Amino acid sequence: MRGRLAFGPIAGGTIALAAACVFGTAVLAAGPEPGSVFVPARYGSTELGQLLNSEPELVVAGERLNVGLLRRFYALHGFEPVWTTRQAQANLLTNAVLRAGDHGLAPGLFHANLLQQTARLQPLERELLLSDAFLSYADALARGAMPVERRSDDEALTPGPIDVAAVLDAAIDSPDPAAVIEAQAPTTPTYRALRRVLESYRSGIRVGDRATTIRLREIEVNLERQRWLPRRLPPDRVWVNVADARLILYRADRPVFSTRVIVGEDYKRNQSPEFRATIDGIQFNPPWNVPDYIAAEEILPKISYDPNYLRRHNMVMEPNGELQQLPGPASGLGTIKFDMPNRFDVYLHDTPSKNLFSRSDRHISHGCIRVQDPRELAALLMQQPIDMINQAIAMGSTTQSTLPVPVPVFVVYQTAFVDIDGTLQFRPDAYHRDAEIWRRLQTPLMARSRSAELWP
């Protein structure tokens, strides 16, 4: 049986604790009858240790706390209270949480309302609420308010692991605890620019100004997307912004090449995902192994009324029933494919349909990314003259070349960003992803369990 515990206001207006936890035959209970308590040694014998050992969830006034983070933090302090002897630090960190809007985060995500009325809470409630607010805020700045485990499968970018319990532990012993927490946020040019614009918009916004309110949402959403990125981007990288339909190659953090791309259409299954991979090789004159769903939905129906369809498109049916388009100038992959293994099977490649790059809306592929100038990009990645790339293609046969140095590639979806000239740009939300992120940035994680229902 899973244990439950909840904090909340009772009818008389006071704050009380209800807890029930079963571990075999041992029970922790609040009420007139005493209960026996089993607490593993790693939690110590403190009241905090007992509560955190009660396992599944903690709820204060209807708002759920992050038990895992709390356990990790209090393990660093012997499961003893922290804030009773650190009131000054608690005040500084509380003020930082209440300023979360400066990062496009709703303070309510971090118990802002309760933080402003902690005098109503019992000491243990206040202790846990403060810690959870500070830990959750640090985690949101470090990984995003929507960390990867809360996002859709095709929003897979992540800054990497970080121990926010250790961050808060370092903060409380520093001269400026709030600065330690704030340092978890990105420092990219785009993040800094979006924060400046956010401040400017908010200082000048007028009640009922709907146009500005839509722009503010874009800024807040894209601040969140910046928090999904590594804090130190590789200085050499390929950067593909799907919302902008453009690719940029960086060397030593400076843009050295830019080209248009064609990306996935807005149909959900064909949208280009957000992820990181590594380009480690290039195929010249690649064949195209047609994905099963494209074969079934788009090609096989055409074969039924056009028996010469495969021959005319230089395609063959493999013994296993799969379709392959042979290499050639009319191949769907063109003459170059950039190998970048990833679980989405999305990659960069050439295309014979060069006219499509003149379109303003280039969200028209099945998810892979077509590059307008693939030969120039290949030459830069291979660190060879473009003549060498042309010679490899002119051979006509499929060949594989390994990059001298693998290059990371980031496929992002940023509807607000700073371009290579330092200008803040906005792009349409072709995939309609912004609204869900904005909603999650405004909605506190409320308790949704029977334990919360113990209190009116």
> pLDDT, tens digit, for every residue of 151-179?
999 999 999 899 999 999 999 999 999 99
Confidence class of residue 211 from pLDDT cuts 50, 70 and 90? Answer: low
DSSP 3-state of 301: helix
- Crossing angle of helices 164-172 and 123-143, rounded to 10°: 120
Least confident of 37-51, 90-104, 254-268: 37-51
Q: In sequence order, which ranges of 173-256 are alpha helices (DSSP H)?
A: 177-182, 189-204, 210-226
Looking at residue 321, what is its pLDDT? 85
What does the pLDDT look like over 362-421, one tens digit per residue?
A: 999 999 999 999 999 999 999 999 999 999 999 999 999 999 999 999 999 999 999 988
In this predicted structure, the answer to whether residue 3 has a pLDDT above a threshold of 70 is no
In this predicted structure, the answer to whether residue 213 has a pLDDT above a threshold of 80 is no
DSSP 3-state of 319: coil
DSSP 3-state of 398: coil
Looking at residue 209, what is its pLDDT? 61
- List of residues 6+ apart from 232 with CB closer than 8 A: none
Helix (H) or strand (E) holding 368: none
Dihedral sign, CA of 443, 66, 432, 269?
negative
Token code pair at residue 158: 């992540």
What does the pLDDT look like over 85-139, one tens digit per residue?
A: 999 999 999 999 999 999 999 999 999 999 999 888 999 999 999 999 999 999 9
Greatest Cα pair distance in the chain: 87
Query: 254-264 and 363-365: which strand pairing?
Result: parallel
DSSP 3-state of 200: helix
What mean pLDDT is reported for the chain? 86
- The percentage of residues in the chain with a pLDDT greater than 90, rounded to a whole number, is 70
Confidence class of residue 454 from pLDDT cuts 50, 70 and 90? Answer: very low
Residue of 38, 28, 426, 72 lying closest to 222 (CA atoms): 426
CA distance 133 to 91: 12
Query: 237-241 and 399-412: which strand pairing?
Result: parallel
Burial 433-454 (b: 16+ CB within 10 A, else e): bbeebbebbeebbebeeebbeb
In this predicted structure, the answer to whether residue 453 has a pLDDT above a threshold of 50 is no
Residue of 336, 146, 157, 163 lying closest to 237 (CA atoms): 157
Helix (H) or strand (E) holding 317: strand 315-317
Global confidence as pTM: 0.85
CA distance 170 to 246: 41
Domain residue ranges in the chain: 4-185, 237-420
Helix (H) or strand (E) holding 167: helix 164-172
CA distance 172 to 167: 9
Give the 3-state secondary structure percentages of the chain, helix then strand then coil, rounded to 5.
Answer: 40, 20, 40
In this predicted structure, the answer to whether residue 227 has a pLDDT above a threshold of 90 is yes
Q: For domain 237-420, give the CATH superfamily.
A: L,D-transpeptidase catalytic domain-like (2.40.440.10)
What does the pLDDT look like over 324-353, one tens digit per residue?
A: 999 987 899 999 999 999 999 999 999 999
Q: In sequence order, which ranges of 295-449 are alpha helices (DSSP H)?
A: 300-305, 309-312, 374-382, 386-394, 434-442
Token code pair at residue 92: 């500084």
CA dihedral 236, 240, 246, 249 (to 10 degrees): 10
- The number of angstroms, rounded, from the C-alpha of 300 to the middle of its chain's C-alpha atoms is 37
Average pLDDT on 206-226 reads 82
Confidence class of residue 20 from pLDDT cuts 50, 70 and 90? Answer: very low
CA distance 347 to 133: 41
Confidence class of residue 304 from pLDDT cuts 50, 70 and 90? Answer: confident
